[in-house]
Structure formats: structure tokens, C-alpha cells
Amino acid sequence: MDINFNKNEDHNKLLASELRQKLTKVKLGGGEKRIEKHHAKGKMTARERIAYLLDEKKPSIEIAAFAGDDMYAEHGGCPSGGVVIKMGYVKGKQCLVVANDATVKAGAWFPITGKKNLRAQEIAIENKLPIIYLVDSAGVYLPLQDEIFPDKEHFGRIFRNNAIMSSMGITQIAAVMGSCVAGGAYLPIMSDEALIVDKTGSIFLAGSYLVKAAIGETIDNETLGGATTHCEISGVTDYKAKDDKDALDTIKNIVSKIGDYDKAGFNREAPKKPTLKPDDIFGILPKSRAEQYDMREIIKRIVDESEFEEYKKGYGQTILTGYARIDGWAVGIVANQRKLVKTKQGEMQFGGVIYSDSADKATRFIANCNQKKIPLVFLQDVTGFMVGSKSEHGGIIKDGAKMVNAVSNSVVPKFTIVIGNSYGAGNYAMCGKAYDPRLIVAWPSAELAVMSGNSAAKVLLQIETASLKKKGETITPEVEKELYDRIKARYDKQISPYYAASRIWTDAVINPLDTRTWISMGIEAANHAPIEKPFNLGVIQV
């Protein structure tokens, strides 16, 4: 191995270590003291509930663990958005589990909590996947109610989705394991089956204090909306559990009896590991986002037996397209090639840039995968489309539009891995979040933004210095450098993969070695939802 490999390896393994540390911190939720108080009430934490519910020896993935990261500081923070979401297996059946974390503001809903819950429901709807809600929430976080209550993608959309999923035949099971108040009370009752834990679970539209204030009635919360009330008097809930584990065991029993699902029919053979060491990814991926490398070497360490059958290998070389298998599943891969390449006409093309021929090749390949019913995997390390008079005269906008059209209208499931750069229109063409990938994740090396930090800082510096000069201020080289460094620091924070993950622009920041698990579980989930419409590009300029 050369010295650059070793330097890259040290850098990328350090990033992976930082990821583990950040996840460890996030998993504490509201902190150890609040966890102790939670346990003192005889309750398991959200993560403990999920761990008990999911099959121990099966893989699982966590959706949006970093939601709310470094946000809401003036409100004390909201780790993981106050809710934990995992895709895993219950009695061998793939499910989504959504658990309120009552150690974070009593499980109250912040704006990001609503967005995260809606993302979970979106995944369930797209993949027709059973979803289990473990409810323990004080309802909307009132200081931010204007950002979570009234709009289309706010709190009320949750219950609309409950109804839509029910009409689609998607199984929904809810266990009330703590507070379930006000509008939130509709979620478990709009599920197919609802459980409630005796003495700790409660459901009501208004608690005892509000009832006293509103109508003058004096009543305790347990009599008002406890397990006995709802299982024996109102009939609102279907099962009364003696404690958390009893409720979770009941859910396991219910799930174990769900019938088989109609399958989309994606091709799968016996899974095989890559023959080349996946760990080499850390040394191949450059420390600097500006450096070149061969994306084929990354692909060979992700796919089964390191076999990648390239499509149009010698044409449009700044995008790699081809067929492979990941954990046995057949996939079509669309990846940005980060090497400087030479065309047969002797022209040099920059790696990570999409040229007309690359966009043309990708469009054709995406259409082929749709015709063959092969899921698509996008590996992003893209700086954007090629600019300049030659590209414009050659119709780069037209060819780019064709690629965006193909990505938008694709009917096979899409999965996006942001490996490195994800800038500008390149993010769109390579199936960014706006283009409905079933799952989208980033490696710790990723950067998501309109343009690179250097480019953006230079543009913003020009704007700011021009503004200062208009005010009559003198801009010395020292002042200009201070301005540049301040602007770049602010922008670099915004292009971080954690900044994107905190706002759920991606579903996770993952260790590169977990990529196969995410794609495999994603395709297995997608296999629950047969494709119901044909692939149609619509109107495009040829």
C-alpha cells in the first residue's frame, strides 16, 4: 500500500470513529438522569423497547438517528428528534418501529419530530411495510406549536396517513406505553390494533387539569383514560398489558400471525461477500474531496464477489453504469467516476463532472433497469454538470434534463449513497432526496450543498466586500482573509453530512461498511410493494 492509501485510511477511519461517538451520544436521548427517572417508573426506554421487540439475530437499520442534531439549543435540544425509528424484523417479518423517546421533553413533538414521523410513514407507504408505534408522548411542544400544528406536512398529516395506510391494507399496530394526549390520541386508535400498558399508559383528549378548568369536573388521569377505562368501559383499546414487556410480547404474537405479502419480484440469488476487502474503502477514498480516484474500486468492495458488469464502458466515462448483486439482490448501479478520463477524440474530462455523453448513457441505462425490473443504486460523488460554451452549444441542458426525467419517472426502487460531493444539479440528476429514493444515506466523507465550500465562500466574499465598500469601508487583505475564513467556516458547517442528517435531507450517516446492509434491507422492503405503473419518460427532447 502506498503512503496516500495509509493517509486516506487514517483520515476515513477517524471519521468513522467520530460517527460512532456521535451515535453513542445521541442514543442517550435526554441523558442518563432522565433515563434513570424513566426506569424508576417501571418503564423501558424507547431504544430498550425496540431492542426487545426486534429479532435479536437479524439486522436492523436506524432511520434519522441524527434528526434534530445541533438544533433547538434555546429549547434544550431534541436528540434524535425525540423519536426512535428502526427497520428490522419481528418474528421474521420485516417491519418499521416508531417509538417516542419520553426522556426528551416527555416525548413532546418538535417540528423535526413531525418530519421524522412523516418520513417513517412515507417509507411504510412506499414499501407497504407493517409499522408499529410505541407511543409515549406529551403531544405537541407548545412553544413551537406554530411550526408543527397547522400545515400540510405537520402533525395532522400523521393521522391522514394512518387512514391512507389502513385503506392500502398496510398493518399498523400501536402500543400506548405512556402518555397519549390531545390530537395524538388519534394515532393508536386509527391503527388496526391498539394496546395499552396498565397504570403507565393513558389516552385522553384532555388531561385531568384541563378537564377541571374546562368543565369543572374533578377526576384523576387513571380513571379518565387509563388501561382499565379504555379496555373495559370505552372499548378504545384492544389489549391491556401488565407492563412494557407484556405489551411487546403481545405485539410479537400479533405480527407472527400476519400472512405473506405480494412480492414485486426483484431478482435475488444466494448472497455472496465481496472478494476484495471492503475495509480497503477507507484507503481508496481520498482525504481531500478535490482529489481523484477510481470509483470502480469502491464498487468492487460493495458488490457480491466484487463483480461489476459495465454498460457502455468506453462511452460517457464520467458516469459508471452497470449490473451487479448486493447481498444477492440484482441491482443497476449509476456512479460518478472520479478519475480524469480521456475520450477517444483525445479530450480530457474531469472526474465527478457530468458531461452530455455521461448523462445520455445514464438515461439509457436507467430505462433499461426499469424495463428489466432491476432496482437502481446511485453512488454520488458529483460536482455538477459541465459548464462553458462547448457544453452549452452541445446541449448539456437538454441531456441533463433527459437524465433528470429518467430518474424522476423511474418506477423501480432507487437507493442513494452520498459518498463524497453532492453539489448543485448533480445532486438532482443522481437521485437526491427530491427524487424519492426509497432510502438515502451519506458516508461521513459526504458534502451536500449548492457548490463546494471554497467556491461558495469566494462568491459570498465578493458580495460581502462589495457591500462593505459601498458603505465606504476599506477592505485590507487582512480583513478580506478574516471575512473569507468566517464565511467558509459557516458554509462548511452547512455542507457537513450531519447538518443534512439533522434536517432529514438524508436518512442516516453510516459507516461505509454498512452500505450493503442498508441497500439489501431497502430492496427487501421494496419487494413488499409490487410495481403498479409502467415506466414512461413523458416528453423529452432527443
Residue 258: its pLDDT value, please? 96
> Percent of the chain at pLDDT above 70?
99
- C-alpha cell recorded at residue 145: 406549536
Phi, psi at residue 379, to the nearest 5°?
-110, 105
Q: What CA–CA distances, in Å, run from 148 to 1, 72, 75, 179, 247?
A: 53, 14, 15, 19, 29
Residue 542: its pLDDT value, please? 63
Q: What CA–CA distances, in Å, run from 14 to 287, 481, 510?
A: 11, 29, 13
Average pLDDT of the residues of the chain = 93
Residue 67: its pLDDT value, please? 98
Dihedral sign for Cα atoms in the order 17, 382, 409, 315: negative
pTM (predicted TM-score): 0.94
Residue 521: its pLDDT value, please? 98
Q: CA-CA distance, 463 to 139, in Å (whole number)?
A: 44
| E strand spans, 91-235 | 93-100, 131-137, 172-181, 193-197, 202-204
Query: Among the listed ranges 85-99, 177-191, 351-365, 398-412, which one has the minimum average pLDDT value?
Result: 177-191
Task: For residues 185-193, give the mean pLDDT.
Answer: 89
Q: Has residue 1 got a pLDDT over 60?
A: no
- Residue ranges in 330-437 assigned as alpha helix (H): 356-372, 389-393, 396-409, 424-429
Q: CA-CA distance, 231 to 390, in Å (whole number)?
A: 72
In the three-class reduction of DSSP (H, G, I as helix; E, B as strand; rest coil), residue 472 is classed as: coil
The answer to whether 375 and 331 are in contact (CB under 8 A) is yes
- C-alpha cell recorded at residue 412: 423501480
Q: Which of 129, 11, 154 is nearest to 61 (CA)?
A: 129
Over residues 7-34, the pLDDT tens digits come to 999 999 999 999 999 999 999 999 999 9
* Cell 443497476 found at: 332
Residue 183: its pLDDT value, please? 67
Q: CA-CA distance, 428 to 440, in Å (whole number)?
A: 13
pLDDT greater at residue 419 or residue 138:
419
In the three-class reduction of DSSP (H, G, I as helix; E, B as strand; rest coil), residue 49 is classed as: helix
Task: For residues 319-344, give the mean pLDDT.
Answer: 94
Q: Which of 355, 325, 328 is nearest to 342 (CA)?
A: 355
Phi, psi at residue 367, to the nearest 5°?
-60, -40
The answer to whether 338 and 295 are in contact (CB under 8 A) is yes
Q: CA-CA distance, 439 to 62, in Å (whole number)?
A: 11
The answer to whether 239 and 250 are in contact (CB under 8 A) is yes
The answer to whether 461 and 490 are in contact (CB under 8 A) is no
The answer to whether 448 and 401 are in contact (CB under 8 A) is no
Task: For residues 362-379, give the mean pLDDT.
Answer: 97
Highest mean pLDDT among 203-217, 325-339, 452-466: 325-339
The answer to whether 357 and 319 are in contact (CB under 8 A) is no
In the chain, the domains with their CATH numbers are 31-256 (3.90.226.10), 279-446+506-528 (3.90.226.10), 452-495 (no CATH)
**pLDDT-based confidence at residue 88 (cuts at 50, 70, 90):** very high
Residues 6+ apart with CB under 8 A from 405: 363, 537, 538, 540
Q: CA-CA distance, 413 to 375, in Å (whole number)?
A: 5
Q: What CA–CA distances, in Å, run from 173 to 54, 59, 502?
A: 14, 21, 27
Q: Has residue 45 got a pLDDT over 70?
A: yes
Strand partners of residue 477: none
Over residues 242-281, the pLDDT tens digits come to 999 999 999 999 999 999 999 999 999 999 999 999 999 9
Q: CA-CA distance, 401 to 395, in Å (whole number)?
A: 10
Residue 112: its pLDDT value, please? 97
